[in-house]
Amino acid sequence: MIKVCIFDLDGTVLDTLASIAHFGNAALVHNGLAAIDQAQYRYFAGDGIHELIHRMLRYHGADTDEMYERVYHDYRTAYHSDVSYGTRMFEGLPDVLTRLHDEGVTLAVVSNKPDEAAKGVVRSLFGDGFFTHVIGQIDGVPLKPDPTAVWQVLDELQVPRDSACYVGDTSTDMQTAKRAGIRAVGVLWGFRDEAELRASGADVLCATPQELYQAVRAADEEEGRHIC
């Protein structure tokens, strides 16, 4: 039985694509580079702010140390000043999260988003305490797909790995679950596609929040891979 669901944030719990693209493009334009189509940010995000900026600059062939420092500073300063800008919850997901919470499933977040931003945006949209843990990028703690932060959550909750799942929308998330030794649940409403999630070892793929609920509640009865 699944007792703990740990979630990725961007592209899984929250639709932050417009927000990331907005602040990314503002930082690029401020430093003399052209804005990039929002859709391209699906492939830039997911591996932390540093890799996000490098990918933006590599797209322009401008990934120098000087340009990186300038764009990183502008992006981080602007984003942290308004972490909820352009961010929305995916349709139907708040009801599913509330239902799981009310039925006794513990909810947590482990994200590659900077820790301050992750905590800020979760607090602004969900309040305090809905997720028992919100862990973002912290100095000294490896980013996903390293499972360190996931293990930290499970250890503090004293929950065995066979009673937990990790829910995400990218190959990084599926690899995180696999390395942590817990069930890998891929969602298809996020930044990446079904092929990527399948190839990276998803145990379950869910097209809608309701399918996510069904997968979590039925996990103890399922064997092997199942596609919702």
Q: What was the pLDDT predicted at 77?
A: 96
Please tell me the least confidently modeled range out of 84-88, 172-176, 180-184.
84-88
Residue 226 has pLDDT above 70, yes or no: no
What distances in angstroms separate CA 76 from CA 17, 49, 105, one per listed residue?
A: 16, 8, 34
Phi/psi of residue 131, nearest 5 degrees: -100, 130
Q: What was the pLDDT predicted at 218?
A: 84
More confident residue, 1 or 144: 144
Instruction: Give the residue-averaged pLDDT of 65-94.
Output: 96
Longest dimension (CA), the chain: 55
| Overall fold of domain 17-81 | DNA polymerase; domain 1 (1.10.150)
pLDDT tens readout for residues 37-54: 999 999 999 999 999 999
C-alpha 123/C-alpha 134 separation (Å) is: 9
Q: What was the pLDDT predicted at 221?
A: 57
- Domain segments of the chain: what residues? 4-15+87-227, 17-81
pLDDT tens readout for residues 89-138: 999 999 999 999 999 999 999 999 999 999 999 999 999 999 999 999 99
Single-letter amino acid code for the residue at 23: F
Residue 228 pLDDT grade (very low, low, confident, very high; cuts 50, 70, 90): very low
**Per the CATH hierarchy, to which homologous superfamily does domain 4-15+87-227 belong?**
HAD superfamily/HAD-like (3.40.50.1000)
Q: How far apart are the first and last CA of the chain?
A: 18
Q: What was the pLDDT predicted at 220?
A: 52
In terms of Cα–Cα distance, which of 124, 126, 168 is closest to 11?
Answer: 168
Please tell me the least confidently modeled range out of 27-36, 125-134, 135-144, 212-221.
212-221
Instruction: Give the residue-averaged pLDDT of 190-206.
Output: 97
Residue 63 pLDDT grade (very low, low, confident, very high; cuts 50, 70, 90): very high
C-alpha 208/C-alpha 61 separation (Å) is: 37
Residue 225 pLDDT grade (very low, low, confident, very high; cuts 50, 70, 90): very low
Task: Calculate what percentage of the chain has a pLDDT beyond 70.
Answer: 96
In terms of Cα–Cα distance, which of 85, 72, 145 is closest to 110?
Answer: 145
Average pLDDT, the chain: 95
